Chain A
């Protein structure tokens, strides 16, 4: 009982702190394209607007073959970096994830790197 009452209040107090753009709904998720809104920590200031690398450079097709491009969006341990950190737009992030998974299957990228 005590848990139930406390948990709804906790996110509601942390969300308004972290949200830069004022129009955050109850879910608190800002629309895409916003400067990485309440990223788990509650930053008060706007982070500088990150642009989608693919939209800017007009890269149409993301192939599983160009490992160098894909490696920029893969963390050290081989995990795919979330788009709130890289600033990629949704459609490109989806294509990117698909390409990375294909590259992993053909041993161009590791599934899990380092110990």
Chain B
């Protein structure tokens, strides 16, 4: 089952740009060959770290959003742990969160539509449309 994950990792600051690109390309190849797909890759640039990690005070942040299996993410984590320039990483599962946000947005959209309709037609059907709205809220809640 393909799930959405966000992997953020920090690369040591004294690495060259081309090495960083090579590292990221290697990871991406790993993902695609393992049956996953990359949704986005973002380089957040050099940032000051909140505390010292491996004697560094700042680092290069990279954010990868991928669709992959759980086992593939485990493999990626193993690679990150082993690779020398990467000093910290975190992988977070995002699909449940996205589902939840989409659901909230959908509920909000339907609620808006129900309240917009009686204003367009007539004040009479206000009550029957107000009644289903809390009912759907209660049903979905």
Contact = CB atoms under 8 A, between A and B. Distances in A.
- A and B are interacting partners: yes
Contacts of A109: 50
Contacts of B59: 107
Secondary structure dominating the interface of B: strand
A78 B89 CA distance: 21
A58 B111 CA distance: 14
A3 interface: no
B104 A106 contact: no
Given A64-B92, A102-B90, A102-B92, A107 B101 contact: no
A107 B10 contact: yes
Contacts of A113: 50
Interface in A69-115: 102, 104-111, 113
Contacts of B51: 107, 110-111
A113 B49 CA distance: 12
Interface residues of B, number: 19
A60 interface: yes
A101 to B, nearest CB: 11
A38 B15 CA distance: 54
A107 B92 contact: no
A63 B10 CA distance: 17
Interface in B75-130: 88-90, 92, 97, 100-101, 104-105, 108
Nearest to B42: A65
Given A61-B97, A61-B101, A104 B92 contact: no
A105 B50 contact: no
Interface of A: 58, 60-61, 64-65, 102, 104-111, 113
Interface of B: 8, 10, 47, 49-51, 53, 59, 63, 88-90, 92, 97, 100-101, 104-105, 108
18 contacts: A58-B108, A60-B105, A61-B100, A61-B101, A65-B63, A106-B8, A106-B89, A106-B90, A107-B49, A107-B50, A107-B51, A107-B59, A107-B88, A108-B47, A109-B50, A110-B51, A111-B51, A113-B50
